[in-house]
Amino acid sequence: MNQPPVNKRLAVYPGTFDPITNGHADLVARAAPLFERIVVAVAESSNKGPGFSLQERITLARLALADLPNVEVRGFDCLLAQLVSELGAGVIIRGLRAVSDFEYEFQLASMNRHLIPQAETLFLTPAEQYSFISSSLVREIGRLGGDITGFVHPAVQQAMRQRWQKKQPETEGDNYA
């Protein structure tokens, strides 16, 4: 298969985005001026048992990032190295929230450098107000009926609310208060 030439002004930001959070959106918004185009690549990741389908996660990411004209959202179900090569991307964007993320992200960056030496990994940190937000925490808070207003785009909040209302068992007669 013929690969396009490497474009250092094209970046890929991969993740499961289950759901996309304001922290993810912050990273994309801050990276957008640095690149001609950013592809937010939503991984299938069926082994992680995501709460939303791939298509739902793509739709929610598109809604959350709609105000960024040079950002494209697409799904993928292959090795990231394959996607990056097919796109001709020269940069992989990864977010670091805390020092604890670094070891795992460093390992991924090293492996990606081996698999796709033409692509560099760029680490970005979220704004302080988003540094504690993770998709798994947001899912848990949302599932338990907590307020996730400051953590996700309103469309994501609405989708989560609808998802958890559907999954909540009938609790008539149960009084835990």
Catalytic residues: 24, 48, 97, 135
Binding-site residues sit at: 16-17, 24, 48, 80, 94-97, 105, 130-136
Contact assessment for residue 17 and residue 57, using Cβ atoms and an 8 Å cutoff: yes
Residue 19 main-chain phi, psi, to 5 deg: -95, 175
Alpha-carbon distance 28 to 157, whole Å? Answer: 19
